[in-house]
Structure 1
Amino acid sequence: MDIIMPQLGETVAEGEILLWHKAEGDVVKKGDALFEISTDKVAMEVPAMENGVLTKIIANVGEVIPVGEPVALLAAEGDELVFEGKETALASSGGLSRAVQAEAEMLKPMLSDEVNVRLIASKHRLQGGNGLFSPAVKYLAAKYKVDLSVIAGRGYDGRITKRDMQAHIQQISTRLNQDAFRDQEALALEDDVLAQLSPSVRRLVTEHGVNINHLDGTGRYGRITESDVLSYLDGDAALASRATQASQTSPVSSLPILIKGKAVAFTLMRKQIARQMASSVQNAVHVAQGMEVSFDAVEDVRQANKMAFKKRYGCSLTPLAFVARAVVKALQAFPHLNGQVGADKLVLSVPIHLGIAVDLSHQGLVVPVIKHADTMNVLGLARQIAELATKARENRLTPDDMSGATYTLSNNGGSGTAFTTPIINHPEIAILSIDSIVRKPVVVNVNGRETLGIGSVGMLVQSFDHRAVDGAYSGAFLQQVKSMIESHDWQGEL
C-alpha cells in the first residue's frame, strides 16, 4: 500500500520530509512514528496506519512532496513480500506473526544491496483498489475492463502510466475494430478523476477547457503538474504570464545578487511564510495605528499573583494573557474586526478564535489558535497560551490547532521592541502587536495636579485592512482595549 503525504489543513499543498524513523525492511506496528514532516502550518510526526513492513522509501529527507503523493510503500497484513523468490505472507489478522518478524529482522541488514524486495499487488488492488496506480489508470482499467497484470509499466519504478493504458486500449481497438475504442475522446477522464488532480491543476484545466488526455505528465509517477498544463496552453507565453503573476505575490527579488557570501537556502517553512506575507501585502490594504497604554493596573495584579499562579498551574502569568482578554472584550464591541475579508465582502464571526503568533527559536513562526477565546477569562487564556506555545515548540500542533483564527496577536515585547507594524495574517481583517512594557517617566494626576511619576508603559500597534474598516473604527477599538487594560478589575479574573 502507498504511504502518502497527508493533508494537514485545507490550505496546505505540500510537505517537506524532515526525518525517517523507520528504514526499508523495518517491521512497523500501527501507531509507530514513520516520518516527520514540515509544512507552512505545522511540523509533526506521521504514524503508521497499519501493521506491516516498510518495503521502500520513495521520498528522501529534504524532499518537498505534494499532498496525496506517495512517500513510501508498506506491505500491510494480507499482502505478500518476495525475498529472493521466496514468498512470505504477512499475518492477515492479530498482528505480525513471530516468524515474519524474525525473518524481517534477519533479512534487514541485506535489504539495501543483496535482497530484491518487491511488493506483490493483491487481486483487489489490480482491480482498482487503493493500490499503486494513479486515478487515471484505475479509472481506465475499470471502464475498459483491462487486466492490469498483463501490462508492462514503463513509468517510474515499473509503474503503469496513463500512456501505457491508452496504448493498450488502442491495441484492443485495432484488434476488435471498434470505432468507440479508437476515438480518443472515449478515453477522456470523467469528473471523478478530474477531482483527484491537485487544486491548482484542476483550476487551470477547468478554466481553459483542457482535455487532460492531451497532456504529458512530468511529475512523480507521471502525474500532471501545473507546468505541464501551462506548457500545453500557450507555450512560452503562458509560462511568462504565470511568471508575471507569481512575481506579483513572491517576495523574491528578480534582481541578480551582486555580493559574495555563504548561501543559506530557505526552508520550506521560510518559503511558505514568505509567500503568505507577500500575498497579504499584495492583497490587503495595510494601515497601522499605535497607542501607548499604561499597564500599571495589570502589573500590580500580575506581580502580586505570578508566583502562586506558576506554582498552581505550571505556567507563567504574562501580560499577553491580559491583553488577549482586553482584545476579546473589545472585539465583541467592534465585531467588524473579527472575521475574514474577501474581495468585496466581510465574513464576520460571532465566536472569537484568537491566533497567537509563536516564534520557533528564530527558525520560523506558527500561529496556533485559541478557539472560543470569548468564553475564557485571564486564567483560561494564560493556560491556553502556554499550552499552545509548548505544543508549537515541541512540534505537537495538529491541523485543528492551526486553523480558524478570526484575529491574531503578535507578542514582540520579549525582544524589547518599542514599536512593531505587523503584517495581517490574511485573509483576517486585523492583527495586534504587543511591544515591550517598560518603566518610564509619565505624567500623573495627584489631587487634581499634574506631576511626574514612574509607570509601566507599553505600545499596542494594530494593522488593519482598510478595505474592511476605517481608521476611526480601528482607533475606537484600540481605545476600548486601552481603557480595559488601564481600569479593569483584573484581580477578579483570577
Structure 2
Amino acid sequence: MPRLGESITEAAIITWFKDVGDPIEEDEMLLEVATDKVDSEVPSNVSGTIEEILFEANEVIKIGDTIAIIESNGEAVNSKPKKSVISKKLESSKPKQKKSVIKPQTLQLQNTEKFSVSNSNTFFSPLIISIAKEHHISFEELARIPATGKEGRLRKSDVFQYIEEGRPYKFAQSVTQDPTAYRIPQLTFDKGKGRIVEMDRMRQMIADHMVYSKHTSPHVTAYVEADLTNVVTWRNANKKVFQEKYGEKLTFTPLFVEAVAKAIKDFPDINASVDGKNIIIKEDINVGMATALPSGNLIVPVVKNADSKSLLELAKDVNLLASKARENKLQGDDIKGSTFTISNVGTFGSVMGTPIINQPEVAILALGIIKKRAEVIETENGDEIAIRSMMYLSLSFDHRVVDGFLGGSFVRRVADYFEQFDINRKI
C-alpha cells in the first residue's frame, strides 16, 4: 500500500477493480481506498497477473502493508506478504473461517441490567479487539461506542476518540435506574412516501460529524455587518490585471482568508481546540474553506499557514484547492490540519448563515452575499446616503471556551479589516 499523504497512516478498501487471475498493466488501477473523506485509486506498480488478493473490501490496511501478490515475468513481486491469508484461488476448495461476530441484540451486563447498542454493525475487527484488550474495554462497552466506519463499522479512530473523551459508557446505566432522568423519547413519525435515496459514505460521515458537533459544542452565533465597498471596488479594478500578470483568478475568497488570518493573529484564542479540560491554542493558522463537491456533498480543503502567505500565494492555494474539489482530486493532506473554517454561504445567494462548528475547532465564520444597499455614511459634509456593498458575517463559536466578548470582538475585527481595506493597494 503506497503512501497517500504525509499524515495518512491507514486506509479502508472500497473496491477491487481486479480479481485473482486477471492480467494487469503497470499504472493500471488496482483498487480504490478511502481515507477520511477522500477516495483514492491505487495503481499497480508492475505489469503481470494477480496471484493473490490479501485484503477484502471494507478492511482497514496500514500504509506499507502488502495488499496483493502480482506475478511478473514468472516471479511474484511481493513474496512475503505482511498478512497471511488464503488465496482466492484456493478458497473454493477449503472451508471458510467463520468471523467472530457479536449478534446485534441487547447485551447483558454482569448485574443483568440491559442497555441499548449504539452501533448496529457489531462485528469488531482484530485491530479493534486488540485495542480493547489493551485498554480493558469489554465487548458491551465497545457496542456503545458511536461508529463512523462504512456500514456502521467501528474504526480505530472511534475507539481512541472514545478513550480521549473519558470512556463515558464505561459504567453502563440501567434503563430503570432513575425514572426521573431525561431521556430522548423514542417517538414514531410518519415520514411520508417518496423516492428512497440511500446516503452515500460521505453523506453519512457528514451527518455524523454535524450531529457530533452539535452534541459536543454549545453553539452561539454572533452577527456583524461589514461595508465591503473598498474591497469590491479594488477587486473589480484589479482582477483582470491580476490574472494577466500572475495567471491566477482573483476571487473574493483569498481576500476573505487574508482578513480572517489577520484577525486570528489579533485574537489567537479563537484558533483553538478542546482536549478534555485543556484548551489547545494552535500555533499554525490553517484556514479551511467549506466547499461543495459536484455530488452536492461538502468538504473542507485547507489553506495552510495562511497568515504567512501573500495575496498571490493565497490566490494560488484557493484556486488549486477549488479546482481539485470540482474534479474530485483532493488528497488526504488537502483536507488535514484546519484550525479555523470559513463558509461562503453568499455563493448560494444566502444573506447570512448559522454554520455548525467543524470539530475539533471552536469557531466557524459564515460570509453572506455581498449586496448593494443605500446606507447612511459619515462624510466631511455630514451624514449622507450612498450606495454601498454590504455583507453580513456570522460567527458560530463553542461557548464552552469562547465567550461573547472574544467571539464578538473577533468577528468585528474581521469586518474592520474589510472596511479598512486599502483602495490604493498595489498588486
Rounded to whole Å, the distance in 2 between the matches of 1:425 and 1:208 is 31
Measured after TM superposition, the shift of residue 23 of structure 1 is 5.8
Structure 1 match to 2:30: 34
Instruction: Answer yes or no: is the 8 Å Cα contact 1:54–1:73 preserved in 2.
Output: no
Partner of 2:298: 365
User: Which residue pairs with 1:346 in the alignment?
Assistant: 279
Superposition map of 1:278-297 within 5 A: 278-297=211-230
Paired with 1:430 and 1:15, the residues of 2 have a C-alpha distance of: 33
Q: Which of 74, 98, 108 in structure 2 is aligned with 1:90? A: 74
1:52–1:479 distance in 2 versus 1, CA, 3 Å: same
- CA gap of 1:58–1:373, structure 2 versus 1, over 3 A, is same
Give the equivalent residue in structure 1 for 2:84.
132
Paired residue for 1:205, among 96, 111, 133?
133
Question: Take 2:377 and 2:410, find their aligned partners in 1: how far apart are those partners?
Answer: 24
User: Structure 2 CA distance, aligned partners of 1:266 and 1:157?
Assistant: 37
Distance, in Å, in 2 between the alignment partners of 1:55 and 1:459 is 60
TM-score under structure 2 normalisation? 0.73
- Cα gap change, 1:29/1:343 in structure 2, threshold over 3 Å: closer, same or farther? same
Deviation of the 1:16 alpha carbon: 3.7
* CA distance, structure 1, for counterparts of residue 236 and residue 317 of structure 2: 20
Amino acid at match of 2:269: H
Q: How does 1:207-246 map to 2 (within 5 A)?
A: 207-208=135-136
User: What is the Cα deviation at residue 380 of structure 1?
Assistant: 1.6
Alpha-carbon displacement from aligned partner over 1:252-285 (angstroms, at most 9, x marks no partner)? x974554111110000000000111111111112
Tell me what 2:61 maps to.
Answer: 68
Asked if 1:324 corresponds to 2:257, the answer is yes
User: 2:228 touches 2:419 (CA, 8 Å); kept in 1?
Assistant: yes
Taking only aligned residues, the RMSD between alpha carbons, in angstroms, comes to 4.1
Q: 1:95-114: CA deviations, max 9, x gaps?
A: xxxxxxxxxxxxxxxxxxxx
- Mapped pair 1:53 → 2:46: no
Code of the residue aligned with 1:47 in structure 2: it is: P
Confirm or deny: 8 A CA contact 1:27 1:54 kept in the other structure: yes
1:443 aligns with 2:376: yes
Tell me the distance in 2 between the aligned counterparts of 1:421 and 1:11: 34
Relative distance call for 1:350 and 1:492 in structure 2 (3 A) is farther
Aligned equivalents of 2:330, 2:174: Cα separation in 1: 34
Correspondent of 2:341 among 398, 403, 408:
408
**Residue in structure 1 matching 2:312, options 379, 385, 397:** 379
Q: Which residue of 1 aligns with 2:161?
A: none
Matched, 1:394 2:327: yes
Alignment-mate amino acid for residue 41 of structure 1: K
**2-side partners of 1:242 and 1:27: how far apart?**
57
CA distance in 1, matches of 2:374, 2:258: 27
The number of equivalent residue pairs is 364
Matched residues in 1 for 2:190 and 2:132: separation? Answer: 33
Residue pair 1:422, 1:432 contacting (<8 A) in 2 also:
yes
Tell me the amino acid that sits aligned with residue 133 of structure 1.
Answer: V
Structure with the largest fraction of helix:
1
C-alpha change, 1:6 and 1:52, in structure 2 (3 Å) is farther
- The answer to whether the aligner puts 1:479 opposite 2:389 as a matched pair is no
In the aligned structure 2, how far is the partner of 1:491 from the partner of 1:336? 32
Query: How far apart are 1:203 and its partner, in Å?
Result: 4.4
2:403 maps to which residue?
470
Letter in 2 for 1:198: L
SS at match of 1:68: strand
Q: Is there any run of 5+ residues in structure 1 with no aligned partner, and where?
A: 79-88, 94-120, 135-148, 164-195, 212-224, 228-236, 244-250
State the secondary structure of the residue aligned to 1:198: helix
- Distance in 2 (CA, whole Å) between partners of 1:379 and 1:491 is 17
Partner of 1:266: 199
CA contact (8 A) 2:270 2:363 kept: yes
| Contact 2:363 2:397 (8 Å CA) reproduced | yes
Percent identity reads 31
Q: By how many angstroms is 1:310 displaced?
A: 3.0
Distance 2:198 2:306 in 1: 38
Equivalent residue, structure 2, for 1:452: 385
Q: Distance in 1 between matches of 2:202 and 2:19?
A: 25
Structure 2: runs of 5 or more not aligned: 101-124, 140-152, 156-168, 176-183
One-letter code of the match for 2:32? Answer: E
The alpha-carbon deviation at position 40 of structure 1 amounts to 4.5
**CA pair 206-13 structure 1, distance change in 2 beyond 3 A:** farther
Give 2:338's aligned amino acid. Answer: A
Instruction: Give the match's secondary structure for 1:409.
Output: strand
Mapped to 1, the partners of 2:11 and 2:32 lie a distance apart of 16
Q: Supply the distance in 1 between the matched residues of 2:99 and 2:211 (Cα, whole angstroms).
A: 38
SS in 2 for 1:361: coil
* CA shift for structure 1 position 382: 1.6
Shift of 1:51: 4.3
Deviation at 1:466, TM superposition (A): 1.0
Q: What SS does the corresponding residue of 1:440 show, helix, strand or coil? A: strand
Could you tell me how far 1:291 is from its partner in structure 2? 0.9
Q: Is the 8 A contact 1:52 1:74 kept in 2?
A: no
Instruction: Determine the C-alpha separation between the residues in 2 that align with 1:469 and 1:155.
Output: 60
Contact 1:413–1:435 under 8 Å retained in 2: yes
Going from structure 1 to structure 2, the CA distance change for 1:258 and 1:375 (only over 3 Å counts) comes to closer
Aligned partners of 2:326 and 2:210: how far apart in 1? 21
What is the one-letter code of the residue matched to 1:76? Answer: I
